Amino acid sequence: MFFPSMREMLTYLEAEGDVKRIKQEVDGEADVGAIMWELYNRRGSQAPVVIFENVKGRAMPLVKNVYGSLERWALAAGMEAWRGQHRYKEIREHIMPLTHDQSRWIDPVIVKDAPCKEVILKGEGADLGLLPVFRWHPSDGGPYITLPGCVLRDPEWGHNFGMYRMMIHDRGTTGFVANAAQDGGIFAARAKQRGQKTMDLAVAIGFDPALYLAAVMKMPEVGRDCEFRFVGALTGRPVELVHCETIEMEVPASSEIVLEGQVHLEASRLEGPFGEFTGYAGEQMNQPIFKLRCITMRRHPSYVSTTSAHYASECLALHYPQPTAWYNKMKREIVGFRDAFFPMAGRMLLVVIQIKKRYPGWGKQALLTALGSGFGMSILNQAIVVDEDVDIYSLEEVMWAVTTRCDPELDVLILPPVAVNALNPAARARLPKGPELGYTDFNLCSKMGIDATKKFASEAGRSRATPETSRPGEKDLQRIRGIWSQFGLD
Ligand SMILES: Cc1cc2nc3c(=O)[nH]c(=O)nc-3n(C[C@H](O)[C@H](O)[C@H](O)COP(=O)(O)O)c2cc1C
Ligand SMILES: [Mn+2]
């Protein structure tokens, strides 16, 4: 089952009792962030979708937390029987074959008309003040559009569809922050190299749920319509795009709202801070600006956004699909690789890797591979490697392995500082901004690898192996699982 639009998914979720409507008037700035924070504290990743129907000073309903649970992610990815049944691993295994196999990808199609054209606002009428967009955290430098699907087009490389949040400077201007390593950053650098002073940008808000997965995933390609083609394969039908009114660009026809305009590559304005997925306020930096030309939308659009700094927030769940391509790479490169997981508590800066270790040293090889290249190099502060008997989706079990299988002097690797993501809160220093770095400064941070695998007696300065664990035999466990219902213990 796939939902052709976010609207249809909300209708389904509401029938399932997974949507809460808040009818009383709320203040966008003072109330919404605090309500969502308290909801995440109380319900964690079981928090429902929330629709604020009556936001002071705005006509549009404000929808929060649509993608704030793995169950709803599974639903967006077309998986059945979603409620409470999927872990990250199942979703990843469902999606991953399609990121590998581009022969199954389906090109998008252009349609003539779409509901997002019911209202067209140009000139004075194109006003960002219509949107229920606020400072979601008191530390935010301005109101933030937090779930924008940014469509860019490169003459050679076609469309790229990526999510880069936007701070509103005024009624017709926002910031544009696609960091240099992102496809959006690469598109901008290429436009600059061609001598362009501006770059067309269309911002889709509230679109087909499967497209949300693609907008936050690192694809195996840059641009070339890969996000749209991938979603075509996932849903089994081409993504429908519709032409923009004022720029040479195409946007998902399923959108509730579309902003059209241009990124001014040479203009820049202070942007930030923003309450980031790390749980910290990001830094204020000079960033290019986006100038709005036109808003197109449905007659009664719903505005969808996220607040992000809480560990259980939608923003973090949205980051889950990001390392898919990295996972594929690790699968090939780490000896004995079985699985890997980025626990929410680690805010994307920590990975737990599971291996089948056959020889001494394999744990440390895994750590060096994970921390030493690409996405792992630029995003991770820490990696932990464990054996197959440890459930990497349970931090309880992972920490048990760390405390009982790791002799810190022998099993902790400290790697020297390297350039990491500008948002890394642990980083010690910021590199000076150079022309090659594009829009984002990088930070410097060292890395730690923790080898929490069981050790051989012959391994790394030891003369004693990790003892055997105490638990029932696997045969007995299997047999008992088979007749479990007889005992009435559930
Ligand atoms: C809510 C949310 C906001 C994001 N904001 C930004 C951002 O402002 N800048 C950025 O470079 N990446 C941001 N990301 C991460 C990108 O969406 C992600 O890396 C994606 O792969 C980018 O698309 P691309 O690979 O086509 O560049 C954000 C992700 C989420 C879930
Ligand atoms: Mn991309």
pLDDT surpasses 50 at 313 = yes
> Of residues 188 and 344, which shows the higher confidence score?
188
Nearest residue (CA) to ligand 1, atom 23: 162
CATH code of the domain containing 440: 3.40.1670.10
Is there a single domain that holds both residue 385 and residue 314?
no
473 within domain boundaries: no
Under the banding of pLDDT at 50, 70 and 90, the label for residue 344 is confident
pLDDT surpasses 50 at 418 = yes
487 within domain boundaries: no
Is there a single domain that holds both residue 315 and residue 340?
no
Average pLDDT over residues 222-231: 97
Nearest residue (CA) to ligand 1, atom 1: 315
| Residue 436: predicted pLDDT | 44
What atom in ligand 1 is closest to the CA of residue 227?
A: 26
Average pLDDT over residues 118-141: 97
Under the banding of pLDDT at 50, 70 and 90, the label for residue 419 is confident
What atom in ligand 1 is closest to the CA of residue 146?
A: 1
226 C-alpha to center of ligand 2: Å? 7
485 within domain boundaries: no
Q: Residues with Cβ < 8 Å from 243, sequence gap 6 or more?
A: 110, 249, 250
445 C-alpha to center of ligand 1: Å? 21
CATH code of the domain containing 17: 2.30.110.10
pLDDT surpasses 70 at 439 = no
Is there a single domain that holds both residue 349 and residue 265?
no
What atom in ligand 1 is closest to the CA of residue 166?
A: 8
Q: Give the least confident one: 147-151, 241-245, 341-345, 432-436.
A: 432-436
Give the chain's length: 490
pLDDT surpasses 60 at 282 = yes
Under the banding of pLDDT at 50, 70 and 90, the label for residue 64 is very high
Burial, 360: exposed, middle or buried (Cβ in 10 Å; 0-12, 13-18, 19+)? middle
Ligand nearest to the CA of 230: 2
pLDDT surpasses 70 at 194 = yes
List, for residues 28-62, the tens digit of each pLDDT value: 999 999 999 999 999 998 899 999 999 999 999 99
Average pLDDT over residues 68-87: 82
162 C-alpha to center of ligand 1: Å? 6
Is there a single domain that holds both residue 345 and residue 304?
no
**Binding pocket residue ranges, ligand 1, CB within 6 Å:** 146-147, 160, 162-165, 177-179, 182-184, 216-218, 306, 308, 315, 318-319, 322
Is there a single domain that holds both residue 282 and residue 343?
no
Under the banding of pLDDT at 50, 70 and 90, the label for residue 300 is very high
Average pLDDT over residues 234-243: 97
56 C-alpha to center of ligand 1: Å? 29
Highest mean pLDDT among 108-122, 270-284, 413-427: 108-122
227 C-alpha to center of ligand 2: Å? 6
Average pLDDT, the chain: 93
Domain-ending residue, one of 298, 319, 340: 319
pLDDT surpasses 90 at 203 = yes
Look at the chain and report how many structural domains it folds into: 2
Ligand nearest to the CA of 162: 1
Is there a single domain that holds both residue 374 and residue 309?
no
Under the banding of pLDDT at 50, 70 and 90, the label for residue 113 is very high
Task: Identify whether the C-beta of residue 185 lies closer than 8 Å to the C-beta of residue 291.
Answer: no
376 within domain boundaries: yes
> Of residues 86 and 151, which shows the higher confidence score?
151
For residue 406, the enclosing domain spans 324-467
435 C-alpha to center of ligand 2: Å? 22
Is there a single domain that holds both residue 206 and residue 227?
yes
As a whole-number percent, the residues of the chain with pLDDT over 90 amount to 78
pTM for the model stands at 0.92
Is there a single domain that holds both residue 229 and residue 294?
yes
Q: Residues with Cβ < 8 Å from 93, sequence gap 6 or more?
A: none
314 within domain boundaries: yes
What atom in ligand 1 is closest to the CA of residue 319?
A: 31
| Residue 309: predicted pLDDT | 85
Question: What does DSSP assign to residue 239?
Answer: P
List, as ranges, residues with CB under 5 A of the ion ligand 2.
160, 183, 219
183 C-alpha to center of ligand 2: Å? 5
pLDDT surpasses 50 at 385 = yes
Query: CB-side exposure of 211: number of CA atoms within 13 Å?
Result: 32
**Mutate which of 140, 163, 277 for ligand 1 pocket (most atoms within 8 A of beta carbon):** 163
How many Å separate Cα 87 from the centre of its chain? 16
481 within domain boundaries: no
| Residue 84: predicted pLDDT | 64
182 C-alpha to center of ligand 2: Å? 7
Is there a single domain that holds both residue 263 and residue 337?
no
| Residue 435: predicted pLDDT | 43
Is there a single domain that holds both residue 148 and residue 257?
yes
138 within domain boundaries: yes
146 C-alpha to center of ligand 2: Å? 18
Ligand nearest to the CA of 182: 1
What atom in ligand 1 is closest to the CA of residue 165?
A: 8
The helix or strand, by DSSP H or E, that contains position 288, with its residue range, turns out to be strand 285-297
List, for residues 357-368, the tens digit of each pLDDT value: 999 999 999 999
pLDDT surpasses 80 at 437 = no
Nearest residue (CA) to ligand 1, atom 18: 216
Is there a single domain that holds both residue 249 and residue 224?
yes
Ligand nearest to the CA of 318: 1
Is there a single domain that holds both residue 303 and residue 212?
yes
> Of residues 168 and 437, which shows the higher confidence score?
168
482 within domain boundaries: no
pLDDT surpasses 70 at 438 = no
Domain-ending residue, one of 265, 296, 319: 319
Phi-psi label, residue 471: left if phi above 0, alpha if psi -120 to 50, beta otherwise: beta
Average pLDDT over residues 253-277: 94
Q: Residues with Cβ < 8 Å from 137, sequence gap 6 or more?
A: 33, 274, 275, 281, 307, 309
